[in-house]
Structure 1
Amino acid sequence: MTNPGPVLVVTVLNDPTADVVIRELYDRDVPVVRFDSGDFPASLSVEAEIAPNGFVGRLSTPSRTAELTAVRSLYYRRPTGFAFPHLSKQDARFAITQARYGLGGVIASLPNCRYVNHPHHIGDAEFKPSGLSVAARSGFLVPPTLITSSPDTARAFIKRNGPVIYKPLSNPVYLVDDVSQVVKVAEVAAEDIDDSVAGTAHLFQQRVEKIADVRVTVIGRQVFCVRIDSDLLDWRTDYSRLRYTPVSPPLGIEPALYEYLDHFQLLFGAFDFAVDAGGRWWFLECNPSGQWYWLEPETGLPMCAAMADLLERKP
């Protein structure tokens, strides 16, 4: 029998992708409790007591309550961080730590819950070096890649493997005049490398001479592949110039997708591939919390229904 309890959706207030999934669940009469962990403790409370089979208790918002043992699924999207602006800097640091390990620990320990995805597993999968290593072992083609803080090593890699692009290893909030910016993927030459490279770690990767990109969204055991045609090095910089076509994956891609996700214990992943003139798909990355819904209106692929099936835990 399907667990009749609620689905928890953990995300920011403005999340259009979560909105459409919640609407689909409501249409199926599946109860939903939505909250942002950053609302704790002002408008989110937790009561959790350890028992032989895990925690018992509840999470409560101003309008909903979820019994911890009854939660059927948790959809972990894009919650904000904890903040205690009314406290001193030292007290706020203490309170944030307690909230992270307290509320965060309870959310990560629900006894009968399906996680899409588990926040700890998301954290593991967000390390690009880990993802590249697992991708290679899973059977994907991976472009020659270097992670280094050595200017000389970077120059030698570029000369040996050019053309080469630079990618950030992560994308923290980067403010310019108080406006959030994205560090873009860009081609780099050996003469561009100076001693500032020694200041931190950098990722350099051979540029795939691509004719297209492919976004592969895996939801449970359903795979949705969309070819993205554009003239852009990084298609995410201008969505207005993109053309979308549903495609089937080449032989060997689908089992590699599952092997990759199974390694990180993920039920959802948004994979990016570059397609070369020979039709080969080159693995670039997998985002365990990636966006996906914008592709459904463009292609008609039933991705929202697939996500709702996964969260509903349909047999």
Structure 2
Amino acid sequence: MKKLLATAVLLGLSAPQVATAAEEVNVYSYRQPFLVEPMFNEFTKETGIKVNVKFAKAGIAEKLQQEGEYSPADVVLTTDISRLVELSDKKLVQPVDSKVIDANIPAQFRDNEDEWFALTLRSRNVFSSKDRVGKLPASFDYSDLAKPEWKGKLCTRSGKHPYNVSLVSAMIAHNGEAETKTWLEGVKANLARKPQGNDRGQVQAVKEGLCDIAIGNSYYLGKMVNDPNQQAWAEAVEINFPGQQGNGTHVNVSGMAMAKYAPNKDNALKLMEFLTATTAQQMYAEVNYEYPVKEGVKRSELVASWGEFKADDVSLDQVAQYHQTAIKLLDEVKFDL
């Protein structure tokens, strides 16, 4: 017990966060408090199980490694397929056998070994200036981002941000390493400025005339529409879904996994099943403007207004396999320099 408490103190976890199996469950989360806390409150209301959350912007995998078998973590919530696969590759999570989860989450969006499960989808879109470009043609694909017609007109955040790494990984999965490198060289040549900022910043740059098109995740548009300080940015762009006449629009995920040494395994399973059910999936859709993973769950009114789109059906497991190759190619073309 002394060793357990010492480990908790070392890692910044207070003793009360070490849950008791009867009534608590511990979560390590990359997801922001405003998004997940309403769902946890609803879960507690329905089950009586208290949810203790440790929020982080980075380093969850490292923390779990340091804690080892004394870790209080039961469930890990994260964004991006690469982070989910990292947890699995480092053997920091355990398989979960649940008919409820399997029924709620399509096979494409869960690990073959049942070690991680997607909770929401977010599409990687291209935003275009309403005034200078208008809506892009239905035939527009990610490959078009490398065409000379967009020279000096494209903005994006760092190529090495997980959202862009996953997009590059998907391109490798479809087109191979050599073709993807050529594509990256073309995209870099078309940049209006050095990659910088976040996805919202790219839309701001379009509004300010620094570029005509920008790469960004769909749900950021929803956030900007509802932010008085950024609403004008959102109103200045059209949202486009690339690949509709090809492989489809690239989608990434937020997801969950059960920690390897989960001390409250039964409660962890209950929480994971709750997060895949209709109530929580609807809350994700309404609060964060993401696409629910469970089929039949209604999208938010704003997201629905963007229209239907065909998602790329390449396996997320396959996308994750090319993560390191994607980073290598980004380095080779000096994308961020």
TM-score, normalised to structure 2, is 0.31
Higher relative strand content: 1
RCO higher in structure (CA 8 A, sep ≥6): 2
Higher relative helix content: 2
